[in-house]
């Protein structure tokens, strides 16, 4: 960044707006031909991931036209302090103490447009710092708070730079901000912010959520916003693990000498902006990959009983994505015509025998013949590693082979202690499988995006917790 101009960001006005807007306020409902129309003294207040309105039931009941708890009223205007806010919908959810309460998960200023191409800034009020220095290369930015900060990075798409940063207001409240200087529609930008949030959540271990504000601008300087749009988001997720950390002291507190050795070697590096951009672009363009990474994030937060099953499903989906067009080449019969001829012969043999009384389910046999050229589940899970040039360890293979156990609710017995072993011993097996599968997923994903350095090796890091000692290093080379 030394040879380039440090980018400048105007974040103060949208953050000030958010802080002011979330202070409880009163106004009037405007909804023509609705029981809500004209009701005054309506209080609007902010909750964890939505807004709430509360108003006098007696005023409502006098105007009511068979609308009650459980109903949804769309496109309601809220006039407050000579400004009009539009609620996309109001869900009437509660009646208590002579008051009706409604929830709003989307609202916006009167002039906000989803179809018009504009410049956008996305702001997420945040409960956790965006600590990415040990995961992703940073950039230096300046802002209108008079601060120069390195808690920022960016992604480069084909024709667009998208900046990602943490901002703090005067009261040290934290915000994650995603901003683009390319004109686009709301939907285009919103889809990108979702993918970026998933990428950040996966790499850093913190998936930002709960609620967010989009601000639209008419010029690339983005000094003064025109309109805003609020939307509820998925709940934030603070996971127990993340794939990469270049500071060995962060994870190796119980192995101080090992951490010092790694620190002196200085062999670790974070994701480059190019690699992180590749990950984000893959998430923007591939819905199946997006669902897989989100499943990994949610599984990392899940209870021990569900975690390895979630990882197993993610591994299966990721394998399909990586194998892709290679599927036909790796089939037992790699000629379409030869397989077609073979299948015809098998069907003829089946038809010859199908009239026998013992052939009670011929359709099932026909389905199996149709799929006879597919590789086994185990081979399909191993194949992505060979495609990407990754060598699997014996312990990796043991856990990969246990995939069917997890999907059918069984707990693998890695130490051969017997089916009647205690719940505690079964939990150790689940824990061990979880950290092994998670690390394997990270190896695949980081290899896909071009990373060639070290990720955290959790089977080794957590061997005291799993009671499963492994002869491996605390970091694993991708």
Strands 211-217 and 118-126: antiparallel
Nearest residue to 77 (alpha-carbon basis) of 114, 113, 34, 115? 34
pLDDT of res. 2: 44
Average pLDDT of each block of 10 consecutive residues along the chain (478 residues)?
75 97 95 85 95 82 60 92 93 78 96 97 91 94 94 94 95 95 97 97 96 97 97 94 96 92 96 98 97 97 92 94 76 83 92 92 91 82 93 96 84 91 94 97 97 98 95 96
> Using CA atoms, how far apart are residues 283 and 285, in angstroms rounded to an integer?
6
Q: 9: Cβ–Cβ under 8 A, 6 or more apart, which residues?
A: 141, 142, 143, 144, 163, 165, 177, 179, 222
pLDDT in tens, 38-74: 889 999 999 999 999 998 877 665 555 555 677 888 9
Strands 72-80 and 83-96: antiparallel
CB of 210 closer than 8 Å to CB of 49: yes
CB of 100 closer than 8 Å to CB of 94: yes
> Using CA atoms, how far apart are residues 451 and 344, in angstroms rounded to an integer?
46
Nearest residue to 278 (alpha-carbon basis) of 439, 452, 123? 452
> Using CA atoms, how far apart are residues 88 and 74, in angstroms rounded to an integer?
6
Q: What is the 3-state secondary structure (H, E, C) of the chain?
A: CCCCCCCEECCHHHHHHHHHHCCCEEEEEECCCCCCCCCCCEEEEECCCCEEEEEEHHHHHHHCCCCCCCCEEEEEEEEECCEEEEEEEEEEEEEECCEEEEEECEEEECCCCCCCCEEEEEEEEECCCCCCCCCECCCCEEECCCCEECCEEEEEECCEEEEEEEEECCCCCEEEEEEEEEEECHHHHHHHHHHHHHHHHHHHCEECCCEEEEEEECCCCCCCCCEEEEEECCCCEECCCCCCCCCHHHCCCCCHHHHHHHHHHCCCCCECHHHHHHHHHHHHHCHHHHHHHHHHHHHHHCCCCCHHHHHHHHHHHHHHHHHHHHHCCCCCCCCHHHHHHHHHHHHHHHHHHCCCCCCCCHHHHHHHHHCCCCCCHHHHHHHHHHHCCCCCCHHHHHHHHCHHHHHCCCCCCCCCCCCCCCHHHHHHHHHHHHHHHHHHHHHHHHHHCCCCCEEECHHHHCHHHHCCCCCCCCEEEC
Q: 227: Cβ–Cβ under 8 A, 6 or more apart, which residues?
A: 108, 109, 110, 111, 112, 113, 215, 216
Nearest residue to 312 (alpha-carbon basis) of 199, 412, 438? 438
Cα separation values, 368 from 10, 348, 357, 466, Å: 62, 14, 20, 40
pLDDT in tens, 199-213: 999 999 999 999 999
Q: Structure pTM?
A: 0.90
Cα separation values, 298 from 202, 287, 306, Å: 10, 16, 10
């Amino acid at each position: 960044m030394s040879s380039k101009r440090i980018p400048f960001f105007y974040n103060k006005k949208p953050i000030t707006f958010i802080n002011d807007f979330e202070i409880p306020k009163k106004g009037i409902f405007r909804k023509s031909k609705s029981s809500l129309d004209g009701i005054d003294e309506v209080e609007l207040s902010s909750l964890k991931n939505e807004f709430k309105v509360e108003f006098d039931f007696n005023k409502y009941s006098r105007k009511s036209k068979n609308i009650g708890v459980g109903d949804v009223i769309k496109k309601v205007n809220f006039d407050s302090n000579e400004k009009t806010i539009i609620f996309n919908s109001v869900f009437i959810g509660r009646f208590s103490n002579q008051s009706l309460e409604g929830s709003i998960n989307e609202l916006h200023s009167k002039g906000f447009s989803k179809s018009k191409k504009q410049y956008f800034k996305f702001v997420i009020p945040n409960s956790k710092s965006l600590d990415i220095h040990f995961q992703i290369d940073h950039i230096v930015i300046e802002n209108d708070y008079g601060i120069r900060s390195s808690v920022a990075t960016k992604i480069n798409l084909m024709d667009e730079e998208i900046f990602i940063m943490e901002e703090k207001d005067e009261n040290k409240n934290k915000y994650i901000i995603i901003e683009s200087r390319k004109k686009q529609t709301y939907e285009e930008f919103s889809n990108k912010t979702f993918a970026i949030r998933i990428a950040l959540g996966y790499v850093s271990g913190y998936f930002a959520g709960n609620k967010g504000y989009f601000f639209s601008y008419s010029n690339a300087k983005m000094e003064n916003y025109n309109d805003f749009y609020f939307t509820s988001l998925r709940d934030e997720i603070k996971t127990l693990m993340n794939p990469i950390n270049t500071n060995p002291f962060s994870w190796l507190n119980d192995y101080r000498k090992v951490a010092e050795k790694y620190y002196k070697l200085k062999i670790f590096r974070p994701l480059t902006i190019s690699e992180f951009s590749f990950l984000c672009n893959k998430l923007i363009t591939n819905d199946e990959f997006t669902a897989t990474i989100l499943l990994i994030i949610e599984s990392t937060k899940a209870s021990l009983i569900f975690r390895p099953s979630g990882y197993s499903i993610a591994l299966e989906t990721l394998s399909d994505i990586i194998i892709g067009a290679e599927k036909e080449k790796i089939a037992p019969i790699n000629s379409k015509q030869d397989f077609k001829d073979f299948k015809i012969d098998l069907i003829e043999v089946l038809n010859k025998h199908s009239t026998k009384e013992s052939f009670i389910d011929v359709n099932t046999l026909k389905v199996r013949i149709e799929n006879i050229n597919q590789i086994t589940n185990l081979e399909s899970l191993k194949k992505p590693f060979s495609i990407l040039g990754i060598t699997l360890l014996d312990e990796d293979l043991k856990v990969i082979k246990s995939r069917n156990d997890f999907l059918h609710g069984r707990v693998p017995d890695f130490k051969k202690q017997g089916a009647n072993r205690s719940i505690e011993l079964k939990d150790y097996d689940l824990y061990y499988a979880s950290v092994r599968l998670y690390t394997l997923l990270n190896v695949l994903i980081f290899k896909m995006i071009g990373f060639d350095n070290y990720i955290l090796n959790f089977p080794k890091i957590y061997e005291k917790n799993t009671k499963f000692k492994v002869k491996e290093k605390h970091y694993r080379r991708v």
